[in-house]
């Protein structure tokens, strides 16, 4: 994906004038492994019902769709197929190969204008679906996450782990997750803490200053490089490259707190369980394990599931997110021999916090 298209993922600007261009996105060069469709979501705001804003999408200089949302933005889909009104995001467009005769270098432009000169604020987000390279299996986690489109640049890596490259949103989510881990896993300034799947260090940069030593572990060398850069100023951190199967490189009973956030969605079920079993191995007696996934049983989780369900099968990337249920995650913890298993189902996410009790026989092992 081009640098321009990366930036357009979450772009906010002020309109000033009759025909402001919200954004332009350059299609990847011919032969790039992206499917030829794109979703656009953004705001179409009017001062009032008398001055609605028209949204137009152009490929090169050709207009491929145009819509003037009502002030309530409820009836857009009925008037223009392919565009759905949304109170949450104003308009929602899915463009297919029928209207995207892209060639390398062709631009996709989205613009908005109204009858009257006006000022307002618009947000445009884009998502491009990468075709699965069938030579790379989902279970080959290192290769999947070292792919250049996933982690080759800091921007790509941030989008892959957090869904956004916007610095403010990225920072807020890292802070919130770190705070939740500190609270529920009872992290102390003396603890030795392990993050399984540290990604870019989004959570680690917020948590490492609150513990004795922080270890970032990941299957991707690219991600570890980004994490090292993120945490370069902190003296109490170290990194481990994982093999994608277990926590080799981490000693038995050497960790006070282990956590794995936003990772299980990218793993097959058996590999999720492997990391739960391995977390119990590396935790000290009394150690705590925090792990999560998006919750299929919640309304928010089901909405995300349906978004992913609508992807064309050939366009599903190997790192596509897969859900869990509260019972699934609880079962992993209990079968691995954890005690005091607590399940926190909160909107989109379901989280399990579990305790490695004082010396007891380990439950089911891989």
Q: What is the CATH number of the domain that holds 190?
A: 3.40.50.150
Note whether residue 136 is domain-resident.
no
Alpha-carbon span 329 to 341, nearest angstrom: 10
DSSP state letters, 179-228: HHHHHHTT--TT-EEEEES-TTSTTHHHHGGGSSEEEEEES-HHHHHHHH
Which residues touch 136 (CB under 8 Å, ≥6 apart)? 143, 144, 147, 318
157 secondary structure, DSSP code: H
- 212 & 344 share domain: yes
Query: Which of 73, 107, 130 is the last residue in one of the domains?
Result: 130
Alpha-carbon span 134 to 221, nearest angstrom: 22
For residue 319, what pLDDT is reported?
A: 81
Domain housing 35:
3-130
Quick: pLDDT tens for 92-109: 455 544 444 444 445 556
- 292 & 208 share domain: yes
- 295 & 201 share domain: yes
Note whether residue 156 is domain-resident.
no
Q: How confident is the model at residue 137 (pLDDT cuts 50, 70, 90)?
A: confident
Structure tokens at 2: 């081009």
- 202 & 87 share domain: no
Alpha-carbon span 252 to 352, nearest angstrom: 22
Note whether residue 149 is domain-resident.
no
* Closest to 39 measured CA to CA, from 116, 114, 107, 92: 92
- 40 & 120 share domain: yes
- 114 & 248 share domain: no
CATH number of the structural domain spanning residue 52 = 2.60.120.380
Quick: pLDDT tens for 28-42: 333 333 333 344 444
Residue of higher predicted confidence among 110 and 146: 146
What domain count does the chain have? Answer: 2
- 195 & 341 share domain: yes
Q: What is the pTM of this model?
A: 0.66
- 223 & 348 share domain: yes
């Amino acid at each position: 994906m081009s640098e321009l298209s990366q930036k357009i993922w979450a772009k906010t600007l002020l309109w000033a004038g009759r025909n402001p261009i919200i954004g332009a996105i350059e299609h990847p060069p011919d032969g790039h492994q992206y499917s030829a469709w794109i979703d656009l979501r953004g705001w179409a705001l009017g001062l009032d019902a008398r001055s609605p804003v028209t949204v137009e999408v152009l490929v090169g200089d050709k207009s491929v769709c145009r819509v003037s949302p009502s002030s309530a933005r409820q009836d857009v889909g009925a008037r223009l197929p392919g565009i759905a009104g949304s109170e949450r995001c104003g308009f929602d467009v899915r463009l297919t190969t029928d209207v995207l005769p892209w060639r390398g270098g062709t631009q996709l432009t989205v613009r908005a204008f109204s009858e009257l000169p006006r000022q307002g604020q618009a947000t445009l987000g884009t998502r491009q679906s990468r075709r699965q390279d069938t030579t790379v299996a989902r279970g080959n986690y290192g290769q999947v996450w070292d792919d250049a489109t996933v982690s080759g640049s800091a921007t790509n890596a941030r989008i892959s782990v957090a869904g956004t490259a916007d610095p403010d949103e990225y920072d807020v989510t890292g802070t919130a997750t770190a705070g939740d881990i500190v609270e529920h896993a009872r992290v102390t300034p003396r603890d030795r803490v392990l993050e399984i799947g540290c990604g870019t260090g989004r959570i680690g940069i917020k948590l490492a200053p609150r513990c004795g030593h922080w270890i970032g572990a990941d299957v991707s060398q690219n991600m570890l490089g980004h994490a090292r850069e993120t945490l370069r100023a902190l003296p109490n951190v170290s990194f481990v490259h994982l093999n994608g199967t277990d926590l080799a490189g981490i000693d038995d009973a050497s960790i006070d707190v282990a956590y794995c956030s936003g990772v299980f969605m990218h793993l097959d079920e058996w590999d999720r369980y492997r990391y739960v079993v391995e977390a119990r191995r590396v935790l000290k007696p009394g150690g705590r394990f925090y792990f999560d996934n998006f919750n299929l049983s919640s309304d928010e989780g089901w909405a995300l599931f349906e978004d992913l369900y609508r992807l064309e099968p050939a366009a599903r990337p190997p790192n596509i997110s897969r859900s869990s249920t509260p019972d699934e995650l609880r079962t992993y913890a209990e079968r691995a021999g954890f005690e005091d298993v607590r399940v926190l189902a909160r909107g989109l996410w379901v989280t399990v916090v579990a305790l490695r009790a004082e010396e007891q026989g380990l439950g089911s092992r891989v």
